[in-house]
Amino acid sequence: MEEDQGKPAAPLSSPPVKVRHVEAPGGAAEVYANYVDISWTSFDLQYRFSHNQRLPNEPEPTNRMEHRATVTLSWAQAKMLVAQTLAILQKYEQLNGEIELPPKLP
């Protein structure tokens, strides 16, 4: 048996897979969130999406934080999400101008 020393192994590949998008029973949830809390482990990241609202008629400024959804992604998925989001933000800003951020984020 002859060994291929010094040669890289052939890359593993799989045939293309057709993807069919289907709705979950009852439909997919759509939520509005203006606050995201991110926690992580060695294996994944967890994004907790919430709606932050100022409560009127309180004696001192008080906000209500309503947890709306949680999404857990592997580290690789999170990195792909960052790359896709940056590409979309760049295209948006090319068309609409730079998005201004507040001087201090909460």
Give pTM, 2 decimals.
0.69
Rounded distance, CA 52 to CA 61, Å?
13
> Given this model, what pLDDT does residue 98 score?
96
Residue ranges of domains in the chain = 35-96
> Given this model, what pLDDT does residue 103 score?
85
Rounded distance, CA 40 to CA 77, Å?
13
Q: Using DSSP, how many helices (H) and how many strands (E) does the chain show?
A: 1, 3
The per-residue pLDDT for range 10-58, each reduced to its tens digit, is 667 778 889 898 888 988 888 999 999 999 999 999 999 999 999 999 9
Instruction: Output the six-digit token pair for 33.
Output: 């969130």
